[in-house]
Structure 1
Amino acid sequence: MSRRTLAAGLAMAAALPLTAQPATAELSSVRFPSARFPLGARVVPTKTMTTVTQGIDLYDVKAGSSTDGYTVTVLMPSGRDYGMLPTAEARVAEVEAAGETASLQKVVRPGVADAPSQTVYMVRVGLWSLKDKKKAEKSAKKLKEAGLKVKVDYLGDDGLKTTGPWDVKVVMIDARTFRGSYAATLGTSVAKRETVSSMAKAGKAVVAVNGGFFNIHTDKALRGEPVGASVVGGRLLSEAVPGRSAVVLRGRTAKITELKTDVTAISQDGERVEVNGINRAATTDELVLYTEEYGAKTPTGGTDAVLDATGRVTGLRASGAAVAKGTRVLHGNGVGSDWLNEHAWQEWKVDVVSKVVDLRTKKALKLTPDLNVIAGGVGLVRNGKTKITAKRDGHDSMNMILRRHPRTLLGTTRNGSLILATIDGRQPGVTVGANFVEAAQFMRWLGATQAINLDGGGSTALFVDKKVVNRPSDGAERGVGDALLVLPQ
């Protein structure tokens, strides 16, 4: 196969444009759109609707067809599957020295609201149909034997032009007729990861989805910790990453916004100090608050001040012990430990004051028992327009913006209705997932005027009426950090 023929076979759109879409007309209730599916060739989707309970409908949606196949991608010295032009050209020469024909592919990652576009290059070998994956694997093996690092790629995952297919589940909760409420849960503890279905069943939810991202870069036993703000029943259990997207739940209302949190410890001698974190591993010179929901021991190598429900210091202890029910622990190391030893004497009072601020309104949220907060991953839609805040929300990479993954999406409409959606992916020939641009287009198509991306990939799970209704890409449910629950009352 010539390089020209191969390049033609691999030709794809360089980027998905952030196209304007007409504003959704305000409705008295949330309705599934009658327009063509917004992705790919914009075909008429097939859908099946099931009424879950009053005000809640589940839609099983399928669209598109499979035309993508496989190629072999040559990795760059960095280990990435793309690089700058000189690096990519050097890789082409190495492939041809190994007796194979390589294609140099230019790829443009689209610009988003807070990150410019990026042009990179990929080096690829061969093009095989969906049923010929073994042939691609055989070619990859030959290249590995020649000393090249490669991987077999399904082209539907690229995030460029595709015909699909897509397998989507959508839950529409009508603000006009829904009589239940929304809540967040971290399961049995902050530290532990649990499946959405286990948390949903424990909370007696009729619908549930996985929540925000959790910390995969901490100790294995602590990886249930949310990356961002978490409030459950009015209790702040994880601090915000300032300015990142979140969904604020109160009763049967849901609002998407950006948050920051401030936590301060105030000793009875008047000394004040910032509390750096809540229910997470502590770093050098930090002061971290642990609540009874933490579910793990405090870190070793510091000082713990144990507080009762009134804020009275019941004792100072060496760190590395559990948090007893009805207590909180201020843990410090280095400078944080010094502050505790100087201002948290036994029987003294230490008030811990927590504040959660809505950055759109500049007002603090009242931490009442009906308040729940789940951190989002990336803002997608704001005031009816595509606004992808990938950089602010920590996901401005090629992999996260352009490539397709399973997605869990949350949106609100003009009248306050809630839309929850999962787009399954990583299942060649069955469903391709979505990139950020496609996810935003999809939520606008559904009628969302505000929308965010929650955790996705293998975490994507939608629980409806006692079972998971989507197909998690791991083949089974993954344990996650938190979940959003839709309660019948």
Structure 2
Amino acid sequence: MSSNHSYTKPISLLAFTYTLTTFCNTLLAGEITADNFIFAAQQRVLSYSKQPVREGLHHHVAQVVSTAKADKQPWYIYSSPLLSEQGHKQLTDTLRQHGVTALESERFSVPGMPDKEYQTVILGRFASHSAAQQELHALPPLETPLQIGYAEYHPLSAMGTWHINVLEIEVNAFEGRLANRLAGNQVQGVETVLQLAERSEAIAAINANFFVMHEQDGVVGDPTGLLIENGRLLSEGLNHQPAVVIQNTPQLTAKLVYSLTDIRLFWDDGDISPVAGINRAAGKVRNCGIGDAQGSALAAHDKTCLRSNELVLLTREAGFEPGPDTLSVSINAQGQLSAFHPDSQSDDYILTATGNLRPYLQAKLKDKSTLTVAFDVSEENGQPMLSSDNIEALAAGPTLLYHGQASRREHIEGWQLSTSADHQRRLLVHRWINLRNPRTALGITAKGNILLVTVDGRQPGVSAGLSIEELRHLMLALGAYDGINLDGGGSTTMVINNQVVNSPSSHQNALRPVANALLVLSPPHAKVQ
């Protein structure tokens, strides 16, 4: 027997009516209440509290539960995404040939392309994980990968409980500021959000950018995507990815943008050299998205792209030395080149070349050339972003909301689901976007207030997490006008007054060390060590 289920189309008529009504009511009321935490049907708020943290700074905590009956067989086996009817038929025919007849098919919207769908096949439902695992091990090897899933982590399931934290910043009342901070004040290395908050004497903090977690992907701790700290560019943007730009004076403001990064070297002989990256391992681009000026090279989340011929610039914040297969030179404040020495402390920059750019840089060094480094970070409309030392910027994705509307750009922001992708890549995108996970998000209301949001996940009975589409619904319900998803999963952490207020999902609830955090700092000149 075979059945067919469809994942609710993004913002169905019922959901759209609900979220739009809640959104309008939020704007009219001008405040967040318990009702704003209901993001789907068959839910109720089990508990809610609102506590003042500082003037203009409020901490909301809600526990939302499903009113649906619990599934008696919550465990299931499912396939990686099948992008064609032919692929779906081939898998189901193969399974039936091996005696698997309890098949269901589920349809999901392709990330970023809600008018297109893909399918997964469910091979049975089970009362326990061990029963599902036993059945999985009994199946023959298949070309299509199979996984064990849990109903509470599935957006089709009405099951679930959700632990949600919101730090609301009223920009007209709060006199503090927001700031990015690197772990250990350098690119290489990681710290927990709690360590970052304590070291900086922050009022509050959340995790921020995605980052390199393993040495084979680059420098551990390197934030991916745009990162600007106190007006200094520390990481280049990725094509088409969203970023939040924060300006602390004359008044705290936040803005969702799509940025372009252009770093160039102007040589004394008239040459102009484009620089491909800043403060990263030369030849490796975590999450990809570095390419021509037209941005045709798309980002690819959790993938490392290799580049053969490039120039990479290291600033004093790098905290690491160039790799052994590169040619590197030091640049002083006058733009003069010298051979790189690891013990040099006076260099403004280190310039690293790979591939066929090594002899080019060697010739410049031999000729005693001088240069000027020019940084240009702008919005897609050309508006410059490095015009002030008060600028902070961070990036992640995908975009959730843009100007009060759901914005679905996953396919160009790093989560493309294509026929050219292998099954493991398809499975990663499916689980990352369309299944429930812990999430961190930043929202900006129509009034300009800033919402820092965490939703715990992967903890049955505590918090299920959200799919990206469910997170959109939640941010709309909370009154966000613009919204961006930040790094999540085991990174999701919120700290207030040196206390972790959420329930991180890393092993045994241990805090995951991260690359950077967005800090809420006291006025007027908060101490940052």
- Mark yes or no: TM-score above 0.5: yes
Q: How far is 1:173 from its partner?
A: 0.8
User: Does the 8 Å contact 2:100/2:123 carry over to 1?
Assistant: yes
1:296 is aligned to: 320
Pairing 1:17–2:11 present: yes
Q: Distance in 2 between matches of 1:203 and 1:414?
A: 30
Q: Distance in 2 between matches of 1:384 and 1:400?
A: 24
In structure 1, stretches of 5+ residues that fail to align are none
Pairing 1:386–2:406 present: yes
Pairing 1:263–2:263 present: yes
User: Does the 8 Å contact 1:36/1:45 carry over to 2?
Assistant: no
User: Does the 8 Å contact 2:439/2:465 carry over to 1?
Assistant: yes
Letter in 2 for 1:244: Q
Q: Distance in 2 between matches of 1:127 and 1:296?
A: 50
1:214 is aligned to: 211
User: Does the 8 Å contact 1:290/1:323 carry over to 2?
Assistant: no
**How is 1:54-453 mapped onto 2 (pairs within 5 angstroms)?**
54-65=55-66, 67-68=70-71, 69-75=73-79, 80=80, 82=82, 84-109=84-109, 112=112, 115-129=113-127, 132-143=128-139, 150-188=146-184, 189-216=186-213, 219=216, 222-251=219-248, 252-283=252-283, 284-313=308-337, 315-317=338-340, 321=342, 324=345, 326-344=347-365, 348-360=369-381, 362-396=382-416, 397-453=429-485
Q: Cα deviation per residue 1:272-300 (whole Å; 9 max; x = unaligned)?
A: 11111101122222111011211111122
| Cα gap change, 1:161 to 1:140, in 2 (>3 Å) | same
| Cα gap change, 1:137 to 1:243, in 2 (>3 Å) | closer
Paired residues, number: 471
Letter in 1 for 2:70: T
Letter in 2 for 1:67: A
3-state SS, counterpart of residue 487 of structure 2: coil
Q: Distance in 1 between matches of 2:90 and 2:167?
A: 49
Letter in 2 for 1:259: S
| Cα gap change, 1:74 to 1:384, in 2 (>3 Å) | closer
Superposition TM-score, scaled by structure 2 size: 0.81
3-state SS, counterpart of residue 475 of structure 2: helix
Q: How far is 1:84 from its partner?
A: 3.8
Letter in 2 for 1:226: P
Q: Distance in 2 between matches of 1:343 and 1:401?
A: 47
Cα-Cα RMSD: 2.8
Q: How far is 1:233 from its partner?
A: 1.5
User: Does the 8 Å contact 1:70/1:128 carry over to 2?
Assistant: yes
3-state SS, counterpart of residue 195 of structure 2: helix
Q: Distance in 1 between matches of 2:470 and 2:29?
A: 27
